[in-house]
A and B are shown apart, each in its own frame.
Chain A
Amino acid sequence: MVDLATILAGFADAFTLWNLLFVLFGVVVGQFVGAVPGIGPVMAMAIAIPFTFGLDPLPAIAFLVGVNKGGLVGGAVPAVLMNTPGTPDAAATAMDGYPLARDGKPLKATKMALFSSVTGDTFSDLVLITVSAPLAVLALRMGPVEVFALMIFAFAVLSGLIGNSLIKGVIAAALGLLCAMIGSDPENYTPRLLFGYWELFDGLPLASVAIGMLAISEILRRLSQIQGEMKGAIEVRDTGDPNDRRVTWAEYWACRFTMLRGAVIGTILGALPGIGSTAAAFMSYATAKSTSKEPETFGKGNLHGIAAAESANSAVVGSNLIPLLTLGIPGSVGAALIISAFMIHGIQPGPLLFQDQGRLIYGLFGAMIMANILNLWVGQAGLRFWVKVVSAPESIIFASALLLCIVGVSMATGGIFGVAVMLIFAGLGYLMTSYGYSVVIFIISFFLGPRFEVSLSQSLALMNGDWTQIVNYPIALILFVLAAVTTAWFLSRRTPEDPGASVSIED
């Protein structure tokens, strides 16, 4: 489907100084925001998307990939130093990273996190590059009926896996679809749910919805938790021993099987929509502990614990793009943001992507490889600086994030109306998070909404409006049955007694 010349041209497009600079900038921004508790790469990506409008698609998407990958490395810094993960998936890293930092080895812990993260990420990217094109060939054989059935199945899986209740997941998905219905309907082009606001004829602006729900609502949540009490600067202990500031080759090599296992777990879980990097990190950590000869040392500063968590959570990033690039279905909120960047630049994700935009996709793969190398380099050079970033005042961080969101959305939507929409969705996102409804499912179903309706319409046309003809589409039938079985299985699960804190944007 994609010839060698296209693949080579794509990689050649990626490896230019211009793209290198954008990936480097993305990685630096990602590591910086990852290191700041409360911001994180998802919020940074949401804020950054409008600023990439003026760019060509490849540097724009490469920049966002850099932010995403850099954020996972940066997220380990506050987890290790403060026991406060910058990103939810770094929570498992804190279990062994923080004890090491307390013992005066913060740089050793953060460097182990960096090396494991890059190892897991590179493994996952190689899997993505290898399997996505053949999978896309298979996906191309699917018609509208199969695509519609696949979306129903994806909604069932996402609703059950993300959050603590299938019913709440379905409600979040339904709300996302409802918001996607605003504008003109795709078959008759008649206005729908405009409420007199003709600015909405083309639908709700993607940037307003994404930034409002993912960035502003999260900022509101963080600000409400601060409640006027500024945190003090943290003190980092250092033993002064050079060996405590580095990870030797022997220490890295001793963790090779732990990292490989973590990378495999992260890659497999990342390829399945709905299972995030947090689950991968904890599963890898638990497996490493259970297979270790010294399980009692886990939680007390064991490098294997950091290696397991970081290799798994970073491996999710690459494989998350497998369902996105092959089927057009984002498996996580990070992937949903990348899909929005694709769409903003006029590119429709899905199996045709390899056929129509093969060069761009292999350019993206090249950028991902560059981002891994740069992640290692920037991490090595910048770790000391990120350690200081952890202590940056929240007042300036959140004030700048708010102003950047306002300006970004105004640029993306061409005026203050889009900013007002953003604020409405910020309020909705905050309430949904507070009451345990996943904004991740909402955003994914909002993105998929128009395609969902079009594929339903095409399916009805193909079957002459007679759903009994579904028997002529065995793959679709299997997917519908799987969706029903999955839903029944999730419904039969016992409701958790105490799901803990409210659902975060990463879930």
Chain B
Amino acid sequence: MNMKTTADRATGGFFLLFGVLLYFVIIPKYVEVADGAWLMPSTVPNAIAVVLSICGALLMLKPTAHRVQNTREMMFAGLYFTLLAAGLLLMSYVGFVYAAPVLALAVMLLIGERRPFWLLLGVVGLPAGIWWLVAYVLERALP
């Protein structure tokens, strides 16, 4: 079994279990029961859970030759995702005006930008431009 096939079988297995979990645990716990209607609140979610499980099982049996991105790329994506999450957390405490320059600087440095002009533009010019557009022109609140 090669690498490509393993990835499809793994995701197939995940959806098989996810469907089962949805049907037996999540939907009964988080969907309220209501009577007197043609369609119960849980009918469509239950049908989706069944479809997910069946398709997951089928994918395990009949995987495609899809290639997954290499591990290094996925790790970089995870790094940027974590950075964004940290930036949002910071933004929720100190606001956009203070958090945006830090986030822009971190992203630009991680991309590999070292030229002072572009860094200055990204850290000062960019957040200032967005502030001007949103707060001044559109008169809306920034996060």
B interface, size bucket: 35 or more
Name the A residues within 8 Å of B11 (CB-CB): 435, 437
The answer for the CA separation of A223 and B111 in the assembled complex, in Å, is 7
Name the A residues within 8 Å of B8 (CB-CB): 435-436
Task: Tell which of A188, A404, A498 touches B65, judged by Cβ atoms closer than 8 Å.
Answer: A498
Task: Tell which of A177, A185, A416, A426 touches B92, judged by Cβ atoms closer than 8 Å.
Answer: A416
CB distance from A407 to the nearest CB of B (A): 6
Confirm or deny: B1 has a beta carbon within 8 angstroms of a beta carbon on chain A: no
The answer for the CA separation of A436 and B59 in the assembled complex, in Å, is 12
CB distance from A219 to the nearest CB of B (A): 8
Q: Mark A44-84, 1 if CB is under 8 A from B, else 0.
A: 00000001001000000000000000000000000000000
Task: Tell which of B39, B67, B73, B138 touches A460, judged by Cβ atoms closer than 8 Å.
Answer: B39
Contact residues of B between 35 and 54, Cβ < 8 Å to A: 37-39, 41-42, 44-45, 48, 51-52
Confirm or deny: A399 has a beta carbon within 8 angstroms of a beta carbon on chain B: yes
Q: Is the CB of A177 within 8 A of B44?
A: yes
Confirm or deny: A194 has a beta carbon within 8 angstroms of a beta carbon on chain B: yes
Known: A171-B55, A396-B126, A399-B104. A226 touches B112 (CB 8 A): yes
Known: A224-B77, A228-B110, A430-B77. A436 touches B44 (CB 8 A): no
Q: Is the CB of A167 within 8 A of B138?
A: no
Contact residues of A between 462 and 507, Cβ < 8 Å to B: 465, 495-502
CB distance from A322 to the nearest CB of B (A): 28
CB distance from A394 to the nearest CB of B (A): 6
The answer for the CA separation of A228 and B88 in the assembled complex, in Å, is 22
Q: Is the CB of A416 within 8 A of B88?
A: yes
Q: Is the CB of A187 within 8 A of B108?
A: no
CB distance from A191 to the nearest CB of B (A): 6
CB distance from A122 to the nearest CB of B (A): 33
* Chain B residues close to A by CB (< 8 Å): 7-8, 11, 15, 22, 26-27, 30-32, 34, 37-39, 41-42, 44-45, 48, 51-52, 55-56, 58-59, 62, 64-69, 72-77, 80-81, 84-85, 88, 91-92, 96, 100, 103-104, 107-108, 110-113, 115, 118, 121-122, 126-127, 130, 134, 138, 140-143
